[in-house]
């Protein structure tokens, strides 16, 4: 039930536990800062892996705090299936996904982020951690550093890598697809590399070097999805491993972030609304850490460094949205922070990247994407509006001081590269064959007026040549929690649906983060019903503007998005025909009253404390899906749950499903012979992960369910899939 940027915000995506009732992986999913490891991005055809040296982004630090959310595995290695598919449709779907994900044509290339340190590139090849000389990176000539099979894990993959500054050691965090548990291995680099140590349940970790050129590893330890302890370790002759810091407040969690210039290691202590940062001198890691600013309730801040100045992204002051401030590194307290740059109203800071002479802000304003390039020498600002088809950024670890590369994507369009070149002051687009989806589909930015008059943004996709959209099937997406945006990365199955005539609608309701911090604040605690009103308004607006109709409308959500979906099914079931949910959070009241669950204390700022606050308890009772089930007609529902999910316990989903079946059966008895009861399906998957985004079996089952419930010819979608096999 609970959850957690190459740049500032992506840091969390790979550094802290995915506390999500999400992606992301978070990873503000997020700060993947490129550090002195000279990271680079490299095209590698036919090979799909994760970003190995992804450092947290600033944006992810704020966005990927423990919460109900996606797995952070945006890209996972393609695994060969040894067993036969369960059905012909399943086989077709797996083939098309493999085709799309390994497509050698430019528009379907998957970018593999690799890490360059010194003269080597470090990455995962098969089941091994390897490195190759930079000039040989395109060949198969590589050195195996460690075989993951030695850990005796089921289908292990490398989650992230850190190389020690002098390249004597490399650390890698290993995970499996069906579990959130991790192991951090330390490999000594020599003529015969050997694993010198391993630590269980490591969340974030970073290397620094002390005055005697000894490599020092700082890492955080995760226990029961909670991350409160920081350890400091050395290896070789002076081996030691000691606890460095323990956070006493159970509602906070801790993660590490190394500034892009590697000058400071930051200890970030935060909950959903408040943060505190300590600095460890990257040149003197044995000195006591320095506090930047003691935690102040409601104040969030994240820190980068450049030329003896700290750049601080914070919501302090009015308006309570993120703004960029700076101060001298030797006077870090809040009274010395000077305002440097403010954002426009209704702006979401997606990420921040720091360069020698520039600061680049990745923004979402009024549901459109922008890049602001700030000249640090003259305080100039250049704002670039990005193509209207783009719905999300993919940040690239980058050490080139002259260029800022990134990717843009949408749910139906694969990532495309862009590079801002500082010397020329221009944004360059990747050249090549234009994706045909740009001509065969449309993307619309619409707004719905909610009950209180607030305008709620929507993003809608449909085929350009679709006629009579009112008769087309509609798939609505919603999340609305933790200040996190709806996941809008490229998904081949979403593209297939649009090609097959479906309308896709993404509703950016309050409680999410699409319009900034206030948008989240207006949809949490005792304002959670705003998100429900927004969702209802979005669906009614879509129908009113000629997009589908209730009998062809479906709704999908995962994790905490299940709260709004379940609430809508209770209050306005007539708006929907069918629903698909994955690892849904459906029993808010009982979950938040059980403080023995791993993340309940960290979730209080989002849902409230019904155990001690009667106002919170009564408010939750008004919308909690489980508490409000009643005998009435419901849309058909397909629920995917995971057997050992620690964030959304299986018991709560099973109880919800049983209660829902009882209510629909009772209603059916009083509805006459012609009444068609809804199908309520609970699909329990093995494993202990929260959301397995790339499960072909799961996706195929969900698509098949939607087609059958809407009475559509199920062969049409698979005929559409086969088109992709002909590229």
Distance of CA 323 to the CA centre of its chain: 22
- Return the pLDDT at 716: 64
C-alpha atoms less than 13 angstroms from C-alpha of 270 in its C-beta half-sphere: 32
Annotated catalytic, 713? no
Long-range Cβ contact pairs of 115-118 (< 8 A, separation 24 or more): 115/37, 115/39, 115/40, 115/52, 115/53, 115/161, 115/163, 115/397, 116/37, 116/38, 116/39, 116/40, 116/399, 117/37, 117/38, 117/163, 117/167, 118/38, 118/167
Residue 331 has phi, psi (to 5 degrees) of: -135, 70
Residues 619, 341: Cα–Cα separation, whole Å: 38
Closest CA to 16 of 241, 229, 296: 229
Other beta carbons less than 10 A from residue 373's beta carbon: 19
Q: 3-class SS at 264?
A: strand
Per-residue CA distances from 409 to 106, 413, 418 (Å) = 14, 6, 11
- Return the pLDDT at 181: 79
Residue from 559, 616, 694, 696 carrying the catalytic annotation: 559
- Return the pLDDT at 645: 81
Annotated catalytic, 210? no
Residues 272, 270: Cα–Cα separation, whole Å: 7
Residue from 353, 645, 694, 696 carrying the catalytic annotation: 645
The residues, any chain, with a CB within 8 Å of residue 392's CB and separated by 6 or more, are 369, 408, 409, 410, 485, 488, 489
- Return the pLDDT at 5: 34
- Return the pLDDT at 126: 86
Interstrand relation of 194-200 and 143-147 (parallel, antiparallel or unpaired): unpaired
Q: Taking a C-beta distance cutoff of 8 angstroms, is the pair 201, 182 a contact?
A: yes
Other beta carbons less than 10 A from residue 686's beta carbon: 8
Which DSSP category does 53 fall into?
Answer: T
Residues 436, 107: Cα–Cα separation, whole Å: 9
What's the CA dihedral at 155, 650, 487, 174 to 10 degrees? -30
Tokens of 411: 């749910």
Q: 3-class SS at 699?
A: helix
Low-confidence ranges of the chain (pLDDT < 50): 1-8, 10-88, 90, 95-113, 724-727
What one-character-per-residue DSSP string does 413-445 give?
EEEEEEEEETTTTEEEEPPSPPPTHHHHEEEEE
* pLDDT tens digits for range 528-564: 999 999 999 999 999 999 999 999 999 999 999 999 9
Q: In the chain, what is the straight-line distance between the N-terminal and C-terminal CA atoms, in Å?
A: 40
Q: 3-class SS at 171?
A: strand
Residues 200, 181: Cα–Cα separation, whole Å: 8
Q: 3-class SS at 358?
A: strand
Q: Which residues pair with 448 in a beta bridge?
A: 456
Q: Which residues pair with 617 in a beta bridge?
A: none
What one-character-per-residue DSSP string does 449-511 give?
E-TTS-EEEEEEEEETT---GGGS-EEEEE---TTPPPP-S--HHHHHHHHTT-EEEEE--BT
- Return the pLDDT at 435: 78
Residues 13, 441: Cα–Cα separation, whole Å: 31
**Nearest-5° Cα angle at 394, 392 to 398:** 145
The residues, any chain, with a CB within 8 Å of residue 114's CB and separated by 6 or more, are 39, 40, 41, 42, 44, 52, 53, 121, 122, 123, 137
The residues, any chain, with a CB within 8 Å of residue 486's CB and separated by 6 or more, are 477, 478, 479, 506, 507, 508, 512, 514
Residue 62 has phi, psi (to 5 degrees) of: -80, -35
- Return the pLDDT at 63: 34
Annotated catalytic, 645? yes
Q: Taking a C-beta distance cutoff of 8 angstroms, is the pair 57, 27 a contact?
A: yes
| CATH 3.40.50.1820 is the classification of domain 436-722 | yes
Residue from 18, 27, 305, 690 carrying the catalytic annotation: 690
Residue ranges of the domains in the chain?
A: 436-722
This prediction has a pTM of: 0.84
Closest CA to 553 of 487, 612, 477, 474: 474
ω into 319 cis (within 30 of 0)? yes
Q: What is the mean pLDDT of the chain?
A: 82
Question: Does residue 317 come out as left (phi exceeding 0), alpha (psi in the -120 to 50 range) or beta?
Answer: left
């Amino acid at each position: 039930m609970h959850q957690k940027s190459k740049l500032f915000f992506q840091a969390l995506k790979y550094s802290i536990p995915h506390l999500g009732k999400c992606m992301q992986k978070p990873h503000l999913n997020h700060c993947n800062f490129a550090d002195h490891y000279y990271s680079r991005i490299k095209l590698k055809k036919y090979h799909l892996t994760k970003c190995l040296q992804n450092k947290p982004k600033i944006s992810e630090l704020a966005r990927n705090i423990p919460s109900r959310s996606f797995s952070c595995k945006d890209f996972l290695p393609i695994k060969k299936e040894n067993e036969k598919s369960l059905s012909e449709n399943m086989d077709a779907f797996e083939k098309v996904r493999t085709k799309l994900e390994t497509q050698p044509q430019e528009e379907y290339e998957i970018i593999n982020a690799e890490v360059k340190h010194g003269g080597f590139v470090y990455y995962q090849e098969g089941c091994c951690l390897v490195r190759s000389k930079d000039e040989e990176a395109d060949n198969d000539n590589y050195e195996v550093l460690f075989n993951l099979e030695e850990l005796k894990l089921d289908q292990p993959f490398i989650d992230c890598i850190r190389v020690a500054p002098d390249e004597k050691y490399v650390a890698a965090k290993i995970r499996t697809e069906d579990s959130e548990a991790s192991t951090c291995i330390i490999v000594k680099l020599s003529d015969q590399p050997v694993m010198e140590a391993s630590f269980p349940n490591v969340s974030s970790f970073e290397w620094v070097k002390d005055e005697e050129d000894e490599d020092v590893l700082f890492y955080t330890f995760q226990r029961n999805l909670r991350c409160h302890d920081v350890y400091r370790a050395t290896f070789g002759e002076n081996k030691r491993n000691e606890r460095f810091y323990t956070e006493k407040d159970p509602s906070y969690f801790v993660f590490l972030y190394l500034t892009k210039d590697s000058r400071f290691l930051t200890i970030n202590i935060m909950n959903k609304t408040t943060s505190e940062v300590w600095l460890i001198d990257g040149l003197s890691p044995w000195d006591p850490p320095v506090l930047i600013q003691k935690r102040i309730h409601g104040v969030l801040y994240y820190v980068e460094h450049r030329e003896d100045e700290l750049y601080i992204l914070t919501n302090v002051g009015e308006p309570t949205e993120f703004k960029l401030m700076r101060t001298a590194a030797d006077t870090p307290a809040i009274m010395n922070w000077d305002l440097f740059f403010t954002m426009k109203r209704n702006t979401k800071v997606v990420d921040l990247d720091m360069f020698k002479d520039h600061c680049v802000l990745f923004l979402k304003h009024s549901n459109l994407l922008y890049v602001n390039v700030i000249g640090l020498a003259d305080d100039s600002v250049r704002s670039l509006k990005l193509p209207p088809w783009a719905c999300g950024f993919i940040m690239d670890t980058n050490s080139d001081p002259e260029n800022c590369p990134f990717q843009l994507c949408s749910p139906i369009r694969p990532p495309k590269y862009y590079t801002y070149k500082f010397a020329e002051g221009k944004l360059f687009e990747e050249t090549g064959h234009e994706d045909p989806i740009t001509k065969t589909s449309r993307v619309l930015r619409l707004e719905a007026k909610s009950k209180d008059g607030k305008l709620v943004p929507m993003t809608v996709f449909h085929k350009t040549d679709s006629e009579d959209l009112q008769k087309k099937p509609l798939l609505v997406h919603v999340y609305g929690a933790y200040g996190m945006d709806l996941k809008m990365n490229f998904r081949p199955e979403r593209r297939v649906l649009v090609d097959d005539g479906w309308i896709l609608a993404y509703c950016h309701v309050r409680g999410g983060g699409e319009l900034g911090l206030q948008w989240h604040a207006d949809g949490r605690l005792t304002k959670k019903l705003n998100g429900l009103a927004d969702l209802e308004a979005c669906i009614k607006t879509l129908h009113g503007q000629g997009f589908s109709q209730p009998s062809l409308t479906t709704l999908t959500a995962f994790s905490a998005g299940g709260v709004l979906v379940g609430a809508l099914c209770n209050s306005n079931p007539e708006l929907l025909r069918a629903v698909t949910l994955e690892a849904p959070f459906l029993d808010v009241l009982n979950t938040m009253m059980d403080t023995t669950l791993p993340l309940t204390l960290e979730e209080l700022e989002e849902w409230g404390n019904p155990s001690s606050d009667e106002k919170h308890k009564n408010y939750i009772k008004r919308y909690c899906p489980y508490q409000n089930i009643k005998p009435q007609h419901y849309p058909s529902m397909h629920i995917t749950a995971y057997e050992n999910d620690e964030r959304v316990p299986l018991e709560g989903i099973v109880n919800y499903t049983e209660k829902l079946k009882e209510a629909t059966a009772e209603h059916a008895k009083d509805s006459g012979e012609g009444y068609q009861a809804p199908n309520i399906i609970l699909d329990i998957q093995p494993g202990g992960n929260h959301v397995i985004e790339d499960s072909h079996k799961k996706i195929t089952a969900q698509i098949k369910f939607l087609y059958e419930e809407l009475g559509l010819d199920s062969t049409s979608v698979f005929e559409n899939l086969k088109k992709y096999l002909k590229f």
